Structure 1
Amino acid sequence: MSSETGESSFQDCEDCLAPAEAFSVIANETRLSILEALWQSPERPVSFSELRKEVEMRDSAQFNYHLQQLTDHFVVQTDAGYDFRQAGKKVVRAVLAGSFNERPQVKPIELSETCVDCGAPLRADYRDEMLGIECPDCGKPHGRYPFPPGGLNDRTDDEVMDAFNQRVRHLHCLAADGVCPECNGKMGTTITLDTEDLLGLEVRVDHRCQQCHHQLYSAVGLSLLDQSEVVTFHRDHGIDLCTKPYWDLAWCVSDEYTTVLSTDPWKIRVTIPLDDEELQVTLDGDLAVLSTERVDATTAPDAKQPVS
């Protein structure tokens, strides 16, 4: 069934569990143990007897009751046994990520990279399942993004920061493609003048999910990390942009190299300087690249011009 706008929602699904009921189904130690046993099994489907053996429950009738509560919504029964539905996998992954049951206390991580504003060493801190990078001297934010507690397990500080760098890239890549990294709903992108001073920028990119309202904010340049011409430009200068920390790239965390050419429609130029050369990338309001141009930095005019 569809709504009047032609879009579906969980309220329209006659066969779906209501959210409150879905959480009540898995809010049981035995049922979570069943999902964990199914996850740990080297091969699936898993037979009833093997699954009960792994959960270590002697009472067959009681085990069957809990298993049936999971069936159809979180697991599926086949002729060969039981296997996951996608919802069941997501529950286990959420548990493994530590989102439900971990509240780690992490000491601040001192970074070797420096602040794009004042040049002081940066620091990363972790709180409320968010990892953020900030300058302890001037307070300039360099991004704060969701990072599940499970991402901290069995990693050194350097490995945590490498994982965080890749995660931020992934989050913004999905968002720019219109896919919410939280719920897979439709993600909209808008360019805005940052009157709220959320990131210390004059111009900000906002990604907002129409379904769950999840939001991501960034400088315009962050959308260019996987753009082919930008990657090639860095490679030609001996830099692997795929592993370079985004917070070590001024054009990703500030708008020092961002020029608004027009606002109606939006037309923005990001200038990326390396050695004696610049790459000038022009984007529209959807962050689509309109053009790229390499210029001699020693003869190029000042790229930062105010918008009239």
Structure 2
Amino acid sequence: MSGTTGPNADESTIRDCENCVAPAEAFSVIANETRLSILEALWQAPDRPVSFSELRREVGMRDSAQFNYHLKQLTDHFVVQTGDGYDFRQAGKKVVRAILAGSFNEHPEMGPFEVTGTCAECGSNLQAYYDDEMLAIECTDCERNHGQYPFPPGGLNDRTREEIMDAFNQRVRHLHCLAADGVCPECNGRMDTTVTRDTEDYLGLEVRVDHECQQCRHQLYSAVGLSLLDQSDVVTFHREHGVDLCTTPYWDLAWCVSDQHTTVLSDDPWKLLVEIPLDDEVLSVTLDGDLTVLEMERTCESASAEEGAQAISD
């Protein structure tokens, strides 16, 4: 399968691949218990490269010829042979990581269970549940969706529910940060970002942000405000009000999961205003359709109220 190229890519470098194998053939190579054991032994080794004899001993196979046959099947595509022994290629590491993540062999379910935070719509409690490698958060009363994203089964291991939610919070931030930067979190392909009307009612929003990979078609959806979670001025604004935005659950920030603080100033072209209130201040952020910050202004709510009262009296 040829690689996907960008407008300035050197096609001769990206597309030519004398040793490439078809996906079906690659999966057939690792669909063997002994070969998976070899990869796992290589992963567990304290130092790499690992010699042939040491690797065979760790796998526990007495027949040297049979072991050599299976190792040769992995070599070049998943494992590389060096002068000092055997080491991983990136594809081999990905196979082991996928196994450790539980993506191939684990299908747990969890919940629903209560999580910290309140519904952005009605103020009721929130709950989370896990199914089909997806973790979702919704309101216990109005059932409003506060996000549903992939979370590999391995992320549930050796964690309390609170720790799972902390990890999920960081993962969602990471997913959207990569997507907004144009990098697919699944395959590293080119990710396109668009603002659209939420006609399918995925998140109960007037407008939503869509991220879609042009290579693997992976998709992410969110409210407009979620794109501002790692914006330096927004982070500073919260810090000055005693809030650590880096650890605050995104689902507990109304401007990240709802439209109540978002105003559509124009839709041709898109121009959006997100207003973030904290204590007696409001941070107003204006963005375009690419989620580029156009303007930013901090105002005092009390001052605005006084100006409004003065205008009425006049």
Shorter-chain TM range is over 0.9
Shift of 1:64: 0.4
SS of the counterpart of 2:105?
coil
Corresponding position of 1:124: 128
CA distance in 2, matches of 1:236, 1:120: 28
* 1:298 partner letter: S
Query: Equivalences for 1:165-184 in 2 at 5 Å?
Result: 165-184=169-188
Alignment counterpart, residue 23 of structure 1, candidates 20, 27, 30: 27
Corresponding position of 1:188: 192
Pair 1:94-2:98 in alignment: yes
Corresponding position of 2:310: none
- Identity %, equivalent residues: 75
Corresponding position of 2:261: 257
Corresponding position of 1:135: 139
CA distance in 1, matches of 2:270, 2:110: 41
CA distance in 1, matches of 2:15, 2:27: 16
Shift of 1:13: 3.6
Alignment counterpart, residue 301 of structure 2, candidates 281, 284, 297: 297
Pair 1:241-2:237 in alignment: no
Corresponding position of 2:79: 75
Moved more, 84-93 or 99-108: 99-108
Query: Equivalences for 1:28-67 in 2 at 5 Å?
Result: 28-67=32-71
* 1:25 partner letter: V
Alpha carbons 2:81, 2:87 under 8 Å: kept = yes
CA distance in 1, matches of 2:111, 2:207: 32
SS of the counterpart of 2:302?
coil
Alignment counterpart, residue 217 of structure 1, candidates 215, 221, 227: 221
* 1:162 partner letter: D
CA distance in 2, matches of 1:272, 1:265: 23
Pair 1:113-2:142 in alignment: no
Shift of 1:260: 1.2
> Structure 1 residues 273 and 5, CA, compared in 2 at 3 Å: closer, same or farther?
closer
Corresponding position of 1:160: 164
Corresponding position of 1:304: none
TM-score (norm: length of structure 1) = 0.94
Alignment counterpart, residue 147 of structure 1, candidates 137, 151, 155: 151
Alpha carbons 1:3, 1:12 under 8 Å: kept = no
* 2:90 partner letter: Q
CA distance in 2, matches of 1:107, 1:186: 35
* 1:237 partner letter: H
SS of the counterpart of 2:111?
coil
CA distance in 1, matches of 2:134, 2:160: 17
Pair 1:284-2:288 in alignment: yes
SS of the counterpart of 2:122?
coil
Alpha carbons 2:108, 2:132 under 8 Å: kept = no
Q: Per-residue CA shift, 1:256-306, capped at 9, x if unaligned?
A: 1111111222111110000110001111111111121101123448xxxxx
CA distance in 1, matches of 2:239, 2:14: 46
SS of the counterpart of 2:110?
coil
Alpha carbons 1:10, 1:16 under 8 Å: kept = no
SS of the counterpart of 1:100?
coil
Shift of 1:107: 2.5
Gap regions ≥5 residues in structure 1:
302-308
TM-score (norm: length of structure 2) = 0.92
Q: Per-residue CA shift, 1:68-126, capped at 9, x if unaligned?
A: 00000001000000000000000000000000000112132211311111111000000
* 1:109 partner letter: F
CA distance in 2, matches of 1:147, 1:296: 40
Alpha carbons 1:122, 1:136 under 8 Å: kept = yes
CA distance in 2, matches of 1:36, 1:4: 33
Alignment counterpart, residue 205 of structure 1, candidates 206, 209, 233: 209
